């Protein structure tokens, strides 16, 4: 029997960091699979207009209790930062109809007193939901309330397995208290037989790359939770640019050690995750490759500003505000259409986009394979320059 779900998981998880984590919990119903194929077809054709995005990255609050060194919120964000109201969230979610909602942004979600209502709303609409948290507010009562909502996945951000470096990076957090909160949360999920997927999220920068192997070991031996690793962003901020990873023999050696440990611990997801990062560093597109986010992802701030992704920390791209316009007016408006056209070629001329290290290698490879089918090239007049370059070198 043809298994569409497992085929999608296999192909998209091969080398796409974005899908490696999302597909752990995404409900691939026939309707959702249909939407994914429709979105994929629009991406391949490179159309100006797009179907509603599959993934909604929403900022439930701009308020935070930490001052993390790699976060632009600490020194660079100038916009007003408050909580999103539940009724406004419902309006946004209803207008977009996503299949996956990630509660992320530049604040701590659990500071918003209505965050659990938002999760319950998602589950009522059968939308997969994930929260990214710094884990500093966890206690027994909150942990049980989170689990009762039916939340599908929770990310706890831990960027060092050592107290000294953790507290240096996540200024305002206490290592021991944070780790104990996560351990208690995990214990309660086991007691309640919850299916929530717990993930430790480690943002790799020059400040902590040396600790990646130790983090793999720490997660295996102490937390017994599978970690996920992501490269830190430089944004358009000079002091952040110095923190981002650049390929070097030393960094490849560190990643190789971590991959070896993950393989030893039978952490298949971590092996795949770190291998993707290693390959991306070795084969960097340096901001020259196209990006597909404007077809399947959208980011919305607490006050309704729409941007392509979370790299636009100050929502610098003026695409529209959902307090003033419908989502369709913004998503397929002139600003977004122009943006998609620019990204067909590359990211070089787009500030912030050209600093992004995220390479959708898996999607690039799928597009390239489709090009080889007879008649496939007739589906689109405008070809991605990246694909043309690959063909000429094949």
The pLDDT tens digits of the residues spanning 6-15 come to 555 555 555 4
What are the tokens at 324? 């003033």
Name the band, by pLDDT with cuts 50, 70 and 90, for residue 254.
Answer: very high
* Cα 6 → chain centroid: 21
pLDDT of residue 383: 46
What are the tokens at 215? 């983090």
pLDDT of residue 310: 85
Domain ranges of the chain: 55-283
pLDDT of residue 240: 65
Question: Which whole number is the average pLDDT over 35-56?
Answer: 87
Among 132-136, 270-274, 279-283, 286-290, the least confident range: 286-290
Q: What is the pTM for the complete model shown? A: 0.89
Higher pLDDT, 2 or 341: 341
pLDDT of residue 283: 78
- Nearest alpha carbon to residue 172 among 207, 123, 136: 136
Percent of the chain scored above 90 by pLDDT?
Answer: 62
* 3-class DSSP state of 373: coil
pLDDT at 226 over 60: yes
Among 35-44, 89-98, 100-109, 354-363, the least confident range: 354-363
Name the band, by pLDDT with cuts 50, 70 and 90, for residue 23.
Answer: low
Name the band, by pLDDT with cuts 50, 70 and 90, for residue 243.
Answer: confident
Paired strand residues for 231: 204
- CA 269/CA 392 separation, integer angstroms: 34
pLDDT digits (tens, 9 = 90+) for 145-155: 999 999 999 99
Name the band, by pLDDT with cuts 50, 70 and 90, for residue 287.
Answer: low
pLDDT of residue 164: 98
pLDDT of residue 2: 45
Angle at CA of residue 40, ends 36 and 42, nearest 5°: 120
pLDDT of residue 386: 46
Average pLDDT, the chain: 87
pLDDT of residue 280: 83
pLDDT at 95 over 70: yes
Question: Which whole number is the average pLDDT over 255-264?
Answer: 98
End-to-end CA distance of the chain: 34
Which secondary structure element, helix H or strand E, spans residue 101, and what is its range?
strand 100-103
Question: Which whole number is the average pLDDT over 77-101?
Answer: 96
The two beta strands, 128-133 and 153-157, are parallel
* 3-class DSSP state of 5: helix
Cβ–Cβ < 8 Å for 201, 156: yes
Cβ–Cβ < 8 Å for 339, 46: no
Name the band, by pLDDT with cuts 50, 70 and 90, for residue 390.
Answer: very low
Domain 55-283 maps to which CATH number in 3.40.630.30, 2.130.10.10, 3.40.630.10, 3.20.20.70? 3.20.20.70
């Amino acid at each position: 029997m043809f298994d569409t779900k497992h085929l999608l998981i296999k192909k998209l998880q091969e080398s796409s960091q974005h899908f490696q984590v999302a597909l752990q919990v995404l409900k691939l119903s026939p309707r959702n699979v249909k939407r994914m194929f429709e979105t994929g077809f629009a991406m391949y054709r490179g159309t100006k207009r797009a179907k509603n995005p599959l993934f909604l990255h929403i900022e439930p609050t701009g308020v935070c209790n930490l001052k993390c060194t790699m976060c632009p919120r600490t020194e660079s964000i100038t916009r007003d930062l408050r909580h999103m109201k539940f009724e406004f969230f419902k309006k946004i979610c209803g207008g977009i109809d996503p299949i996956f909602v990630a509660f992320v942004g530049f604040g701590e979600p659990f500071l918003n007193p209505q965050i659990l209502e938002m999760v319950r709303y998602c589950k009522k609409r059968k939308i997969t939901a994930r929260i990214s948290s710094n884990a500093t507010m966890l206690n027994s009562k909150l942990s049980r309330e989170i689990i009762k909502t039916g939340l599908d996945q929770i990310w706890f951000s831990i960027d060092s397995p050592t107290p000294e470096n953790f507290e240096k990076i996540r200024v305002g957090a206490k290592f021991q208290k944070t780790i104990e909160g996560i351990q208690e949360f995990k214990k309660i999920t086991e007691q309640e037989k919850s299916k929530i997927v717990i993930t430790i999220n480690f943002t790799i920068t020059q400040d902590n790359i040396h600790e990646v192997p130790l983090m793999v070991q720490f997660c295996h031996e102490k937390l017994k939770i599978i970690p996920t690793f992501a490269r830190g962003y430089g944004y358009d901020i000079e002091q952040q640019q110095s923190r981002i990873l650049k390929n070097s023999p030393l960094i490849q050696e560190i990643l190789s050690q971590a991959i070896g440990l993950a393989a030893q611990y039978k952490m298949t997801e971590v092996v795949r995750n770190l291998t993707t990062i290693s390959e991306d560093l070795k084969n960097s597109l340096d901001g020259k490759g196209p990006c597909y986010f404007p077809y399947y992802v959208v980011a919305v701030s607490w006050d309704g500003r729409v941007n392509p992704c979370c790299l636009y920390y100050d929502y610098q791209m003026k695409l529209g505000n959902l307090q003033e316009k419908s989502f369709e007016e913004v998503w397929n408006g002139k600003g977004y259409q122009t943006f998609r056209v620019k990204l067909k070629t590359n990211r070089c001329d787009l500030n912030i986009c050209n600093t992004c290290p995220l390479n959708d290698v898996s999607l690039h490879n799928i597009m390239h394979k489709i090009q080889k089918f007879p008649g496939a090239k007739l589906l689109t007049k405008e070809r991605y320059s990246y694909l043309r370059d690959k063909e000429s070198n094949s």
